[in-house]
């Protein structure tokens, strides 16, 4: 019985050892397979990495040479060249309005008519008084002529009486009386002359009164003093208007028109130098109303002081505004052209990148690789930028796709949507690399 148990136990130990050997062999086989799969997968991963490290699609532009204007940009405000508040210069009832609100009127056009009857009566009365004073002057002159003749006769009579007195023919009292009458006549003539002067002075006063009454009558018709556009009508016909008190409406002159704007004072020396050469500085204004159509004019004024609170100086440009593109009170984007840079190198602004060492661009080489090149950028002109140093006209620069680039990266030209210029062939190539990665290398 003991021997039987020993055999069974020995058999169990042998089976256990065999099972252990089989398990160990299976584990080794699985480990080898996993290592093989890992190695093959690594090779496939290397294939995908090579796909990502291939030619990168980018959009390219060519640096070009052109004349570039030197400009200063600002935001300006449109101002009417003349604004007049129309008021009545006489008292009266407003009878007629000769325009519609918002009409453009010419200088001298009838705007308002005020009841002229009281003014006409005043003129008629002044003219009647003038005729009366003219008659008084004529009467005083006639009186002077009569008294002057009497005085001459009295002088001759006194001389004759004096001769007779010396001969003893007439008494001395008679001679004295004749001389006294001559003196009285001379004084009368002097008084007549003074009366004439007084009458003429009164006549002048009355002539002035007639002229004033005539002017007042002319004020009953209010005419436009300028060419301009009428505003809101403040007084309707039938209302009483007072002298220099009631504002009837406002006229603004929009031809020409002014655009005022402020620029940093640091540009003052440049502006003075450009204008001092006898050149007319062109100003371009674009109203902020959604219409890109611009208006051109010229700089006509810069202020005599600099605003210390903003360190800016006020400028003013005059625009002809024949098409009424600009409107008083409107805001506009203003560009002041100071000079022109001839034959400047220009590239799109998208090509310019900013790094830790400053501005740079990616330049495409003849080997379809890119070179990261530092540049010195100048002023911006619309969607372009002037490159003062680092780029020559005709060189190709990358405008889109810079994030995937570094020094020496191979590139492939693409359109604005990022599609490579190779078209379908390029896309199918990428598809084959993807299929190889998924299905393994057939050679293995």
Over range 103-125, report the average pLDDT.
95
pLDDT of residue 45: 36
Average pLDDT estimate for 400-412 = 90
Confidence of residue 393 (pLDDT cuts 50, 70, 90): very high
Question: Residue 79: which pLDDT band, with cuts at 50, 70 and 90?
Answer: very high
Question: Between these two residues, 201 and 435, which has the higher pLDDT value?
Answer: 201
**What pLDDT is recorded for position 204?**
94
**DSSP secondary structure, 219-248, as one string:** TTEEE-SSSEEE----S-TT-EE-TTT-EE
Residue 160 predicted with pLDDT over 50:
yes
Q: Is the pLDDT of residue 293 over 60?
A: yes
Q: Is the pLDDT of residue 130 over 80?
A: yes
CA distance 299 to 316: 6
Best-predicted range by mean pLDDT (47-51, 226-230, 245-249, 375-379): 226-230
pLDDT at 53: 57
Q: Give the separation between CA 403 and CA 58, rounded to whole angstroms.
A: 10
The pLDDT of residue 167? 80
C-alpha to C-alpha distance for 101 and 110, rounded to whole angstroms: 14
pLDDT at 335: 92
Residues of the chain with pLDDT > 90, as a percent, come to 53
3-state helix, strand, coil in the chain (%, to 5): 40, 35, 25
Percent of the chain's residues with pLDDT above 70 = 81
CB 295 within 8 A of CB 330: no
Q: What is the pLDDT of residue 418?
A: 57
pTM (two decimals): 0.59
3-state secondary structure of 121: helix
User: What is the arithmetic mean of pLDDT over 9-16?
Assistant: 40
Phi first, then psi, for residue 191 (nearest 5°) are: -65, -40
pLDDT tens, 333-351? 999 988 888 889 999 999 9
User: What is the model's pLDDT at position 288?
Assistant: 87
- Return d(Cα 152, Cα 144) in angstroms, integer: 12
pLDDT of 31: 44
pLDDT at 420: 66
pLDDT digits (tens, 9 = 90+) for 33-62: 444 343 333 333 333 333 345 788 999 999
pLDDT of residue 154: 80
> What pLDDT, on the 0 to 100 scale, is given for residue 120?
94
DSSP 369: B
> What is the residue-averaged pLDDT of the chain?
81
pLDDT value of position 69: 83
Distance in angstroms (rounded) separating the CA atoms of residues 177 and 164 = 13
């Amino acid at each position: 019985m003991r021997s039987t148990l020993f055999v069974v136990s020995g058999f169990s130990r042998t089976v256990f050892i065999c099972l252990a050997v089989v398990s160990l062999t299976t584990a080794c086989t699985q480990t080898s397979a996993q290592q093989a799969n890992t190695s093959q997968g690594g090779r496939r991963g290397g294939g995908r990495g090579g796909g990502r490290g291939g030619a990168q699609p980018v959009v390219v532009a060519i640096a070009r040479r052109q004349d570039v204007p030197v400009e200063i940009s600002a935001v300006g405000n449109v101002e009417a060249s003349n604004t007049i508040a129309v008021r009545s210069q006489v008292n009266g009832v407003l009878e007629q309005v000769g325009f519609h609100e918002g009409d453009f009127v010419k200088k001298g056009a009838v705007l308002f008519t005020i009841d002229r009857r009281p003014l006409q009566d005043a003129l008629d009365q002044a003219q009647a008084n003038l005729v009366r004073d003219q008659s008084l002057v004529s009467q005083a002159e006639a009186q002077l002529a009569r008294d002057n003749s009497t005085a001459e006769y009295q002088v001759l009579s006194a001389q004759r009486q004096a001769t007779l007195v010396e001969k003893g023919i007439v008494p001395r009292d008679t001679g004295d009386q004749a001389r006294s009458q001559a003196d009285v006549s001379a004084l009368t003539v002097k008084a007549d002359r003074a009366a004439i002067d007084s009458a003429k002075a009164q006549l002048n006063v009355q002539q002035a009164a007639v002229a004033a009454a005539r002017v007042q009558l002319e004020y009953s018709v209010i005419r436009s003093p300028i060419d301009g556009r009428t505003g809101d009508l403040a007084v309707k016909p039938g209302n009483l208007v007072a002298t220099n008190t009631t504002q009837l409406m406002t006229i603004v002159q929009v031809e020409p028109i002014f655009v005022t704007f402020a620029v940093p004072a640091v540009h003052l020396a440049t502006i003075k130098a450009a204008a001092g050469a006898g050149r007319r500085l062109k100003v371009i204004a674009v109203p902020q109303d959604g219409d890109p159509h611009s208006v051109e004019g010229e700089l006509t004024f810069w202020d005599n002081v600099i605003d210390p609170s903003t360190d800016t100086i006020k400028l003013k440009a005059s625009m002809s505004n024949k098409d009424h593109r600009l409107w008083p009170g409107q805001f506009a984007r203003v560009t002041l052209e100071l000079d022109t840079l001839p034959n400047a190198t220009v590239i799109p602004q998208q090509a310019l990148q900013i790094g830790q060492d400053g501005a740079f661009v990616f330049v495409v080489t003849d080997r379809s690789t890119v070179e990261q090149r530092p540049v010195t950028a100048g002023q911006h002109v619309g969607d372009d930028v002037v490159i003062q140093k680092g780029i020559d006209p005709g060189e190709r620069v990358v405008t889109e796709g810079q994030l995937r680039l570094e020094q020496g990266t191979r590139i492939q030209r693409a359109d604005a949507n990022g599609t490579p210029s190779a078209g379908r062939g390029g896309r199918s190539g990428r598809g084959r690399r993807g299929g190889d990665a998924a299905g393994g290398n057939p050679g293995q």
